[in-house]
Amino acid sequence: MIDHRRTAPATQRNRDPILGVLRRILPPTGLVLEIASGTGEHVAHFAAALPGLRWQPSDPDPMARPSIEAWTAGTENILAPLLLDASAETWPVERVEAIICINMVHISPWTATAGLMRGAAAILRPGAPLYLYGPYRRKGGHTAPSNASFDADLRARNPEWGVRDVEAVIEEAGRNGLALDDVVEMPANNLSVIFRR
């Protein structure tokens, strides 16, 4: 039998620090949409730790969804992964209590971030959180040499990718009616950026 589970080494390092923030900002019950679920390792970990919530993973990559299904098989509070492109005009979800998006903003075109803000504003309940995690520039500069190297590598792979200015992300969110709630320093020079509708 083929094991479709893919792995991302960073997940083992960042999942518990992220979970610590999610415990503070997520409601006790309701539906949480994960945008760009990737391997599925994060949603499997969070769903086990926060069983009162229902989790909706998603990813536009057809190679990702079998991995998500494999990591989440038999987990009652995780729904089947959806094909969801953040930049699409409409999403296949009508209403959620929270959205999380880990390590997508820098590994996608800016249109995906703009679409994420537009889509989140359309389906989040009033006061509900949008949680972002990843590396960001602050005030036009990188927060660490490692982030500068990572940014150069990303842009070499795809000129539309790259570590974003957190101020630009906050501005894009504001244009869509999402207010900045908090910015949390995370390990390995990453940030948790939290918005509320």
Domain locations in the chain?
9-196
User: Residues 63-120: pLDDT tens digits?
Assistant: 999 999 999 999 999 999 999 999 999 999 999 999 999 999 999 999 999 999 999 9
User: Residues 119-172: pLDDT tens digits?
Assistant: 999 999 999 999 999 999 999 999 999 999 999 999 999 999 999 999 999 999
Q: How confident is the model at residue 180 (pLDDT cuts 50, 70, 90)?
A: very high
Q: What is the pLDDT of residue 9?
A: 84
Q: How confident is the model at residue 43 (pLDDT cuts 50, 70, 90)?
A: very high
Is residue 73 within 8 Å of 5, Cβ to Cβ?
no
Measured CA angle at 134 (ends 138, 33), to 5 deg: 130
Helix axes 9-25, 41-49, angle to 10 degrees: 40
How many whole angstroms separate alpha carbon 105 and alpha carbon 112? 7
Is residue 88 within 8 Å of 111, Cβ to Cβ?
no
Residue 94 backbone phi and psi in degrees, to 5: -95, -40
Q: What is the pLDDT of residue 6?
A: 85
How many whole angstroms separate alpha carbon 100 and alpha carbon 42? 10
Distances (CA, A) of 48 to 28, 44, 56, 75, 178: 13, 6, 14, 8, 29
CATH architecture label of 9-196: 3-Layer(aba) Sandwich (3.40)
How many whole angstroms separate alpha carbon 18 and alpha carbon 32? 15
Q: What is the pLDDT of residue 3?
A: 81
